[in-house]
Amino acid sequence: MERERRRRTAWVALLLLLLLLVALLLMRSCARREPAPPDAGAGSTAHAPAGEAPRAAGQEAEVLGPATLAVPAKVRAGATFVVKWTGPGNPKDYVTIVSKDAKDADYGSYRETKEGHEVELTAPVVPGACEVRYVTGTSRTVLARTPLDVTAAEATLEAPEGIVLGKPVTIAWTGPDDPGDYVTIVMQGTPDNVYGNYAETKQGSPLDVTAPPTPGEAEVRYVTGKGHRVLARRPLRILPAEVSLTAPDEAVGGTTISVDWTGPDNKGDYVTVVLPGARDADYGNYRDTREGSPMKLLMPVEDGEHELRYVSGQDRRVLGRRTIRLKVPAATLSAPEEVAAGAAFTVEWTGPAYSGDYLTIVPVGAADTAYGSYSDVSAGSPAKLTAPKEAGDAELRYVASQGRKVLARRPIRVTR
């Protein structure tokens, strides 16, 4: 019992000690608090200038003295103009142009007053009643304001009524030619802030813009670089191109055929051969139309129906197509039934002998792209090969270099 009583007494003493420590800490915290300013009551800012922001101790007071602004009576939308000002020139003070109804804290094109008493601003691209303001950098107090009429910018466009898809269109224009302004061609109904092929007006007038690759009703537009505002538009009809492909109905895979073609011959256009059903963006062996007509086109070493296509280089759209049937070329192999492991032996062969074709020996079941000992067909027939060092069933192969197509295969036994 005595032992239990002592234990309770110790716990009580420890608890009292902890309470005493907490009380001491609270007293020290209260002692460190800063005294409130003598004028911290409701009337503490009564003598501060209207609109002045609070400032830290030692910070220089913002001067809200008088200011003046001198601007032109009117200026064209998007144009640069000069503002002459007088004012206190506080750090970060600035001159800006905004719409007449903008809030005092709003700003548009601006320059800080530290840049000098004459600064350049850029008028908004949207015409209307605006206001130039002198604004302090700290409290955003407007010290001076003057109206400015922003007049609409004008532009004109001259272009043909129609053009074949993908062809360059020569366009004469007049307009403000502000930095970033451009002339573009888009399909009708395209939002004003979306552009297609374009040329910047800094290139002069006239300039060339490539027509869209899709036939239909389009539009030439003069667009401001700032705000993408359309100042002028003119309709343009995109005409379909006349495309034709003339080639043999059949060909041996791996041979080169002659293809006569007609088409727009725009930059990047090409003729290719693919499997029927391939996507428009897919391509196989091809030649650019810049090579002229007729062109030489290498056929793949494949069998069955294929498709010749005339494809637009601008958007990979197929403008013309023609069917062609391909036949895999024949090849034969003649060699011993068996050969000793690691021994040299000869193979007689026949085949198309395309550049890069070769003979090889591989284990049975190896992928068509695999190869072992090999001989290029340019070495002639018979060819010399070396048997694998391991005994087992193997396969002789005649392989076309294009696509690693196996044209002939023959079993051969490798013995110990």
CATH number at residue 215: 2.60.40.1930
Number of domains in the chain: 4
Domain membership of residue 406 (yes or no) is yes
Domain membership of residue 30 (yes or no) is no
- Residue 364 pLDDT: 95
- Residue 20 pLDDT: 55
Domain membership of residue 135 (yes or no) is yes
Distances (CA, A) of 372 to 362, 366, 367: 5, 10, 11
Residues 321 and 341 in one domain: no
Instruction: Provide the residue range defining the domain that includes 289.
Output: 244-327
Residues 146 and 174 in one domain: no
Tell me if 402 sits within 8 A of 301, measured CB to CB: yes
Pairing of strands 256-262, 392-400: unpaired
> For residue 325, what are the contacts with CB-CB under 8 A and spacing of at least 6?
249, 250, 251, 304, 305, 306
User: Of 82, 116, 151, which one is at a domain's C-terminal end?
Assistant: 151
Residues 288 and 260 in one domain: yes
Residues 86 and 139 in one domain: yes
Residues 147 and 166 in one domain: no
User: Of 327, 361, 393, which one is at a domain's C-terminal end?
Assistant: 327
Domain membership of residue 20 (yes or no) is no
Domain membership of residue 261 (yes or no) is yes
Q: Could you tell me the maximum CA-CA distance found in the chain, to the nearest angstrom?
A: 119
- Residue 235 pLDDT: 98
Residues 81 and 131 in one domain: yes
Domain membership of residue 7 (yes or no) is no
Q: Which residue has the tokens 């004003």?
A: 192
Domain membership of residue 59 (yes or no) is no
- Residues 295-309, buried b or exposed e (16+ Cβ, 10 A)? bebbbbbbeeebbbb
Query: What DSSP character marks residue 275?
Result: -
Q: From first to last of its 416 residues, what are the pLDDT tens digits of the chain? A: 455 555 566 655 655 656 655 555 444 433 333 323 222 222 222 222 333 344 444 457 899 989 999 999 999 999 999 999 999 999 999 999 999 999 999 999 999 999 999 999 999 999 999 999 999 999 999 999 999 999 999 999 999 999 999 999 999 999 999 999 999 999 999 999 999 999 999 999 999 999 999 999 999 999 999 989 999 999 999 999 999 999 999 999 999 999 999 999 999 999 999 999 999 999 999 999 999 999 999 999 999 999 999 999 999 999 999 999 999 999 999 999 999 999 999 999 999 999 999 999 999 999 999 999 999 999 999 999 999 999 999 999 999 999 999 999 999 999 98
| pTM for this prediction | 0.68
User: Of 104, 128, 151, which one is at a domain's C-terminal end?
Assistant: 151
